[in-house]
Amino acid sequence: MTSRAKFIANVTSSLGRTEVITPSSDDSTAAFDDAATARANAGRVMADTAARSVELTDTMAEAASTIGWKVHRVANPEDAADIVANICVQKGATSVLRSAHDILDEINVDAAVTSTGANLRVTEHSGDNNETKVNESKSAAFAADIGITGVDYAIAETGTVVLHPRSGLSRLVSLAPPTHIAVLRPGEILDSLDDLFAMERSDHMSGNLAGSMNLISGPSKTADIEGTTVTGIHGPLEVHLIILETD
Amino acid sequence: MKPLTSDFRAKAAETMVDEQVLQSLEHVYTGFFKGRLEAAGNTDNWEDLREKGKAIKDHTIAHLDYYLGQLADNVEKNGGSVFFAADAAEARKYVLDLAHARDIKTVIKSKSMVSEEMALAQALIDEGIEAVETDLGEYIIQLSGETPYHLIAPAVHKSRKEVAELLDDSYVDGNPVPDATELTMMAREKLRSVFERADMSVTGVNFAVAESGSIALVTNEGNGRMSTTVPRVHVAVMGMEKIVPSIQDLSTMLRILIRSATGQRISSYVTLVNGARKSDEEEGPEEFHLVILDNGRQKLLADEQMRESLNCIRCGACLNACPVYRKVGGHAYGWVYPGPIGAIVTPVLTGLKDASNLPAASSLCGACHDACPVKINIPRMLLELRYRTAEGKTDKQERTSSMRERTVWKAWRIGMMGRKRFDVGSRLSRLFLRPLAENGWLKKAPPPISGWTSTRDFPLISSSSLRSRLNKRSKKTKS
């Protein structure tokens, strides 16, 4: 008997049974909703997100600022670029890292960063992830002063930004540099954690679940010394949220 | 970690006269306890969420064999490896063998109570591997050679000065003590270089999702994200109970966990990983291993009176709410899990006879039950364990009640079961006790009642019962 079979057999017998019973349905969990239900739920979330985007943007901005995001609401791409440039200057940034999100091209972030004299690196996928490449991108992330990303979703309930790391979207851009700037559009803001996980479950049921996901809610925090909250223990000390509210 | 549960009284007594530690324990109350109340108060459907969380856990534990199989299948489908460990030693050996096989030099550890059960960090160090705790609280504890004081605030008992002595190389006694920000930045510097060179990480698991083989990690510091990003090997260790069936269950579980732990609406980071990095990613581990630990949990599962304790999501709310924990501190409980939840799982998990005094360290006020986000009835289980110890249910030899005590309680039971007997009994007790009383209070009494009166006064039994008084009153109102 393998250790797995033995382990699970023990659990079965501890439960007072002789064989594993497959649970059929239970109201407590969403595990028994089929793919069609999951897709329908996701569809509802998307419709709700679009219909309520004005209200959700306000809620998001408020929730985000209470947990430590510096929120910038801008009406056009040029203003977004100016804010990025200002942050670079303010931080005296010499090296900036950014992900390959489309929204960053749209606000022409590269020009904004380089105009301040900082070095810019884009985490584009090279199609080759050998060890040298991996180490190089790691060192670049740890050395960078600012990391800039778009988002996959935001969550108005909690002021959270959601990122699915993938090709061209490094996990470290939003983590290693002491300052993180996230740029998002109103249409990306979901109402709640329930909505996010409904979207994720739909992806899962259609076989498209991302390899990993990070929910980011404000700066890195700790209160491990005398209960005093301090930001920036391992992740960013300062986080900016730029909401691009164009029509 | 080697349990030392027999020292409860001695360690509790030490804490209760340590002004500095008592003051630190106030943070537990003012920060976490009040924060949780506020967070719960600001959540519209808080009671519904608790019910929902409880229902998810009840269902999962009732079908744990099925969900363990499903979880393992899906982790493997995602390209990860799963190891089922019957005890801490097996789990430890798996991780040590893996570290040697992959020629690992530096391991970063994220906070995990299960890895404390395994005493993993020290085991790695003993094998010549650098193993560094990366949660700031755990890091401080590692530097001082102690064990965690609290489930989510491991170093809550340490003063800033003590932390400075551990973290600040230039600090000498008498210097002004650096503030919390300065100390935190010193730790950031030190740990950054460790993150950069780490080639393996060990993390815990807040929730494992059976249907997708995902694991969820909740941190405020970001060490969980570093651990799932930088090293080439990621090992996650979990107790077998930490499963939820569906990804969608996470919204409920995260809401109740985080509010109950720190009073936040959400923590800075929640990370979901589904195995190693995908082929098109430049970062993330090349290998993912999930170690699922039993280590005595089968005993909790098989015991219908104790099964509910497996619903625990390790938020620490019962510690913060407990008037005993807040006075005796975390180390008195002698093993990995302190506080009310520790008092019920430690005796069963460790199987130690001398852990039987842990359930006695409670006033049964029920604050832990009120605080628990999944409504675990901790007081009921504390009573059950006390009963078993007193009656020698688990070990006749270890029965703590004496013949005399049992006889007294038997007589008491008979006396309480009938109205007449009760009235006669109370009149008789009053008759015997009255000569000893002053102004209606017993202040000094002979043994065995002296056990009570040495630390508090005992009210003399009243001359008339509540029932007779009520009868008189209702007659008066009627007439």
Facing residue for A234 by CB, picked from B188, B248, B265? B188
pLDDT for the residue A125: 64
Contact between residue A166 and residue A210 where contact means Cβ atoms under 8 Å apart: yes
pLDDT for the residue B363: 92
pLDDT bin (cut points 50, 70, 90) of residue B113 is: very high
The architecture in CATH of the region B60-297 reads 3-Layer(aba) Sandwich (3.40)
Percent of chain B with pLDDT over 70: 99
| Mean pLDDT over each residue of chain A, to the nearest integer | 93
Q: What is the pLDDT of residues A61-72, one digit of tens each?
A: 999 999 999 999
Assess B157–A contact: CB distance below 8 Å, yes or no: no
Distance (Å, rounded) from C-alpha B269 to C-alpha B254?
Answer: 11
Q: Which residue in A177, A99, A180 sits closest to A141, CA to CA?
A: A177
Average pLDDT value for residue range A80-93: 98
Q: Could you check whether the bond before residue B347 is cis, i.e. omega within 30 degrees of 0?
A: no
pLDDT for the residue B117: 94
Q: Which residue in B268, B386, B243, B377 sits closest to B318, CA to CA?
A: B377
Q: How far is B309 from chain A (nearest CA, A)?
A: 14
Q: With 90 as the cut, is the pLDDT of residue B3 above it?
A: no
For residues B86 and B149, the model is more confident at B86
pLDDT bin (cut points 50, 70, 90) of residue B296 is: very high
Facing residue for B301 by CB, picked from A15, A204, A223? A15
Q: With 90 as the cut, is the pLDDT of residue A241 above it?
A: yes
Assess B248–A contact: CB distance below 8 Å, yes or no: yes
Average pLDDT value for residue range B409-419: 89
Stated pTM of the model: 0.92
What are residue A2's phi and psi, to 5 degrees? -70, 165
Per the structure block, which two tokens stand in for B123? 């085991």
Average pLDDT value for residue range B248-268: 95
Q: Please report the DSSP string for chain A in residue order.
A: --HHHHHHHHHHHHTT-SSPPPP---TT-GGG--HHHHHHHHHHHHHHHHHTHHHHHHHHHHHHHHTTEEEEEESSHHHHHHHHHHHHHHTT-SEEEE---HHHHHTTHHHHHHTTT-EEEE----S---HHHHHHHHHHHHH-SEEEE--SEEETTTTEEEE--BTTB-SSTTTSSSEEEEEE-GGGEES-HHHHHHHHHHHHHTT---SEEEEE-SS-EE-TTTT--EE-SSS-SEEEEEEE---
pLDDT for the residue B225: 96
Question: Residue A89 to residues A93, A117, A232, B379: CA-CA distances in angstroms?
Answer: 6, 9, 20, 58
Average pLDDT value for residue range B265-290: 91
Q: With 90 as the cut, is the pLDDT of residue A205 above it?
A: yes
Q: What is the pLDDT of residues B462-476, one digit of tens each?
A: 888 888 889 888 887
pLDDT bin (cut points 50, 70, 90) of residue B248 is: very high
Average pLDDT value for residue range B21-38: 84
Of A211-215, B1-5, B172-176, least confident by mean pLDDT is B1-5
Q: With 80 as the cut, is the pLDDT of residue B153 above it?
A: yes
Total length of chain B: 479
Contacts of A206 in chain B (CB under 8 A): none
Interface test with B, best of A212, A215, A228 (most B CBs within 10 A): A212
pLDDT for the residue B479: 58
Facing residue for A228 by CB, picked from B180, B220, B221? B180
Q: With 70 as the cut, is the pLDDT of residue A127 above it?
A: no
Average pLDDT value for residue range B253-267: 95
Contacts of A123 in chain B (CB under 8 A): 282
Contacts of B286 in chain A (CB under 8 A): none
pLDDT for the residue B122: 95
For residues B156 and A183, the model is more confident at A183
Q: With 80 as the cut, is the pLDDT of residue B172 above it?
A: yes
pLDDT for the residue B478: 67
Other C-beta atoms lying within 10 Å of the C-beta of residue A128: 8
Interface test with A, best of B111, B133, B283, B348 (most A CBs within 10 A): B283
Average pLDDT value for residue range A7-28: 94
Q: With 80 as the cut, is the pLDDT of residue B315 above it?
A: yes
Q: How far is B435 from chain A (nearest CA, A)?
A: 53
pLDDT for the residue B25: 83
Percent of chain B with pLDDT over 90: 60
pLDDT bin (cut points 50, 70, 90) of residue A81 is: very high
Extents of the domains making up chain B: 1-42+316-401, 60-297, 411-472
Assess B88–A contact: CB distance below 8 Å, yes or no: no
Distance (Å, rounded) from C-alpha A200 to C-alpha B216?
Answer: 13
Contacts of A218 in chain B (CB under 8 A): 268
pLDDT for the residue A16: 96
Facing residue for B211 by CB, picked from A158, A204, A232? A204
> One-letter amino acid identity for B187?
A
pLDDT bin (cut points 50, 70, 90) of residue B375 is: very high
Interface test with B, best of A1, A3, A7, A202 (most B CBs within 10 A): A7
Checking DSSP bridges between strand B207-209 and strand A179-184, what pairing results, if any? Answer: unpaired
Q: How far is A5 from chain B (nearest CA, A)?
A: 9
In chain B, which residue's Cα lies nearest the Cα of A199?
B248
Q: With 80 as the cut, is the pLDDT of residue A124 above it?
A: no
Q: With 90 as the cut, is the pLDDT of residue B195 above it?
A: yes
| Mean pLDDT over each residue of chain B, to the nearest integer | 91
pLDDT bin (cut points 50, 70, 90) of residue A2 is: confident
Of B5-14, B42-51, B299-308, least confident by mean pLDDT is B5-14
Q: Considering only the top CATH level, what class is A33-244?
A: alpha beta
